[in-house]
Structure 1
Amino acid sequence: MTLDIPTIAMHFGDTLLSTMRDVLPIVVIIFGFQLAVLRRPVTHWQRVVLGFVYVVLGLALFLMGLEMALFPLGESMAEQLTALDFLFGQGEAIPAQVPWHEYYWVYLFAAAIGFSTTIAEPSLIAVAIKANQVSGNTISVNGLRIAVALGVAIGIALGSYRIVAGDPLHYYILVGYVVVVVQTYFAPKTIVPLAYDSGGVTTSTVTVPIVTALGLGLASTVPGRNPLLDGFGLIAFASLFPMITVMAYAQLSVWQTRRQAEAAERRKDNAL
Structure 2
Amino acid sequence: MKNSLLKLREKLTEALNSVLPIIGIVIILCFTIAPISSSILLCFLMGAAMIVVGTMFFTLGAEISMTPMGERLGTAITRSKKLSIIVILGFVLGFIITISEPDLQVLAEQVPSIPNRTLILSVALGVGVFLVIALLRMLFSIALPHMLIVFYILAFVLTLFVPQSFLAVAFDSGGVTTGPMTVPFIMAFGIGISAIRNDRHASDDSFGLVALCSIGPILAVLILGMIYRPNESAYIPPVLPEISNSVELWKLFRVGLPTYIREIAVSLFPIILFFGIFQIAVLKLSKRNLRKIIVGLVYTYIGLVLFLTGANVGFMPAGNYLGQVIASLDYNWIIVLIGMLIGFFIV
| Structure 2 residue 181 is matched with structure 1 residue 185 | no
Q: Which runs of 5+ in 2 are unaligned?
A: 231-347
Cα displacement string for residues 229-257 of structure 1 (whole angstroms, at most 9, x for unaligned residues): 200001111111111100111212249xx
User: How well do the aligned residues superpose, as a CA RMSD in angstroms?
Assistant: 1.9
Cα displacement string for residues 41-74 of structure 1 (whole angstroms, at most 9, x for unaligned residues): 5425443322212111111111111111110111
In the alignment, which residue of structure 2 is the partner of 1:261? none
| Structure 2 residue 89 is matched with structure 1 residue 109 | yes
Q: Which runs of 4+ in 1 moved over 3 A?
A: 39-42, 44-47
In the alignment, which residue of structure 2 is the partner of 1:165? 140
| Structure 2 residue 35 is matched with structure 1 residue 7 | no
* Secondary structure at 2:11 match in 1: helix
Give the drift of 1:105. 2.1
Which is worse superposed, 177-186 or 32-41?
32-41
Taking the aligned partners of 2:24 and 2:142, their CA distance within structure 1 comes to 45
Contact 1:72 1:213 in 2 (8 A): yes
In the alignment, which residue of structure 2 is the partner of 1:213? 188
Write the mapping of 1:28-39 to structure 2, written as runs, cut at 5 A: 28-39=24-35
Give the drift of 1:130. 1.9
* Secondary structure at 1:202 match in 2: helix
Amino acid at match of 1:126: V
Structure 1 counterpart of 2:103, from 123, 129, 134:
123
Identity %: 27
In the alignment, which residue of structure 2 is the partner of 1:232? 207
| Structure 2 residue 21 is matched with structure 1 residue 25 | yes
In the alignment, which residue of structure 2 is the partner of 1:94? none
In the alignment, which residue of structure 1 is the partner of 2:217? 242
Cα displacement string for residues 170-200 of structure 1 (whole angstroms, at most 9, x for unaligned residues): 1211110111011001122222111011112
Contact 1:151 1:242 in 2 (8 A): yes
Write the mapping of 1:196-207 to structure 2, written as runs, cut at 5 A: 196-207=171-182
Instruction: Give me the TM-score of the superposition, normalised by structure 1.
Output: 0.79
Contact 2:98 2:176 in 1 (8 A): no
Amino acid at match of 1:68: I
Give the drift of 1:153. 0.8
| Structure 2 residue 43 is matched with structure 1 residue 47 | yes
Q: Which has the higher contact order (CA 8 A, sep 6+)?
A: 2
| Structure 2 residue 119 is matched with structure 1 residue 144 | yes
* Secondary structure at 1:20 match in 2: helix
Instruction: Give me the TM-score of the superposition, normalised by structure 2.
Output: 0.63
* Secondary structure at 1:43 match in 2: helix
Amino acid at match of 1:176: F
Amino acid at match of 1:245: A
Give the drift of 1:160. 0.3
